């Protein structure tokens, strides 16, 4: 089944999440993330999370949970904050989703939480596009989403290639990230 058929099926089933890591649209991206290495995946995920945080801050200028989750994750990756403190902020960002009505903004909160959790394990990185692409479909609707989705996937791949090649530009990683061999 191709990705547009999968998407149509997920919409027909009224799924909250419209993409999966093993689905036709993201399978290749997930493989590339996993082969890029943990540091590259963190830099990639947190870069995209910043965009989503800015989007939510524009709509909710007094809401700081997404920003706090992102900032805490950056500090965690740098070894300046321990996992329990970062996890608390990430869970607070996910909790914000339960308070919102917009399917787009709910998906963005979860996308940020997944991106931030990439510091813990690389497998969380694919969660960012799973949720952000769901938000894009909700924003444009099925009939108008194909081009925005294809463009965003292209951006994901381009930035992943960038971070895979440039992860050493960033120094000061937490001890548990020092042994990333890729």
Q: Say if pTM beats, i.e. exceeds, 0.85.
A: yes
pLDDT digits (tens, 9 = 90+) for 76-123: 999 999 999 999 999 999 999 999 999 999 999 999 999 999 999 999
Range of the domain at 44: 37-167
Residue 29 lies in a domain: no
User: Which H or E element spans position 65?
Assistant: helix 65-77
> Taking Cα atoms as reference points, which of 52, 23, 39 lies closest to residue 172?
39
Residue 142 lies in a domain: yes
Residue 56 lies in a domain: yes
* Number of domains comprising the chain: 1
pLDDT digits (tens, 9 = 90+) for 140-166: 999 999 999 999 999 999 999 999 999
Residue 31 lies in a domain: no
Residues near 176 by beta carbon (within 8 Å), at least 6 away in sequence = none
Question: What does the pLDDT read at residue 182?
Answer: 66
Residue 20 lies in a domain: no
Question: What does the pLDDT read at residue 181?
Answer: 61
Residue 18 lies in a domain: no
Residue 12 has pLDDT above 90, yes or no: yes
| SS percent in the chain: helix, strand, coil, step 5 | 75, 0, 25
């Amino acid at each position: 089944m191709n990705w547009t058929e999968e998407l149509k099926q997920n919409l027909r089933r009224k799924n909250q999440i419209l993409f999966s890591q093993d689905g036709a649209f993201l399978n290749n991206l997930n493989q590339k993330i996993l082969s890029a290495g943990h540091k590259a995946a963190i830099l990639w995920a947190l870069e995209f999370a910043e965009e989503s945080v800015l989007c939510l801050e524009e709509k909710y200028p007094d809401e700081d949970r997404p920003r706090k989750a992102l900032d805490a994750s950056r500090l965690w990756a740098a070894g300046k904050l321990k996992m329990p403190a970062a996890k608390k902020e990430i869970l607070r960002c996910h909790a914000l989703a339960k308070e919102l009505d917009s399917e787009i903004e709910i998906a963005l909160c979860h996308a940020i939480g997944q991106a931030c959790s990439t510091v813990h394990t690389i497998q969380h990185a694919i969660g960012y596009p799973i949720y952000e692409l769901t938000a894009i479909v909700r924003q444009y609707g099925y009939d108008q989403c194909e081009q925005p989705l294809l463009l965003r996937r292209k951006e994901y791949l381009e930035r992943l290639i960038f971070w895979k090649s440039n992860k050493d530009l960033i120094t000061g990683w937490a001890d548990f990230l020092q042994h990333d061999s890729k």
